[in-house]
């Protein structure tokens, strides 16, 4: 499965009502560290599609969601399960670190 583009319009359906945990990457196109994380997020989406949904939220286009979730720095990666934030990473993280957190919530 590819990475979903999450916005205010589909957030409730794709994230809050999801039967699977959801990994969300809060990013911006101009953010260098976000660009470094993008291939990692894409790999996780392909490798773990059976246990987790993966989406990206552009903070420039969705400032309300970024504020609602307290995003102060990007990239911020959150794992949300049953509508609740289970894990938050800020900054560039390794694929193995993110996969470890997925294993804890799936």
Which residues form the catalytic set? 31, 34
- Asked if 6 and 57 touch (Cβ cutoff 8 Å), the reply is yes
The CA-based angle 90-92-93, given to 5 degrees, is 90
Q: How is residue 20 annotated by DSSP?
A: S
Q: Specify the residue for token string 């990692």.
A: 40
Stretch (H or E) spanning 81: strand 76-81
């Amino acid at each position: 499965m590819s990475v979903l583009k999450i916005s205010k319009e589909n957030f409730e359906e794709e994230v809050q009502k999801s039967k699977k945990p959801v990994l969300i990457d809060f990013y911006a196109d101009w953010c260098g560290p976000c660009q470094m994380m993008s291939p990692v997020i894409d790999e996780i989406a392909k490798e773990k599609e059976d246990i987790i949904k993966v989406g990206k939220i552009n903070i420039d286009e969705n400032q309300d969601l970024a504020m609602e979730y307290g995003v102060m720095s990007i990239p911020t990666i959150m794992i949300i399960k049953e509508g609740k934030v289970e894990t938050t990473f800020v900054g560039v993280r390794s694929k193995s670190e993110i996969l470890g957190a997925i294993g804890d919530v799936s």
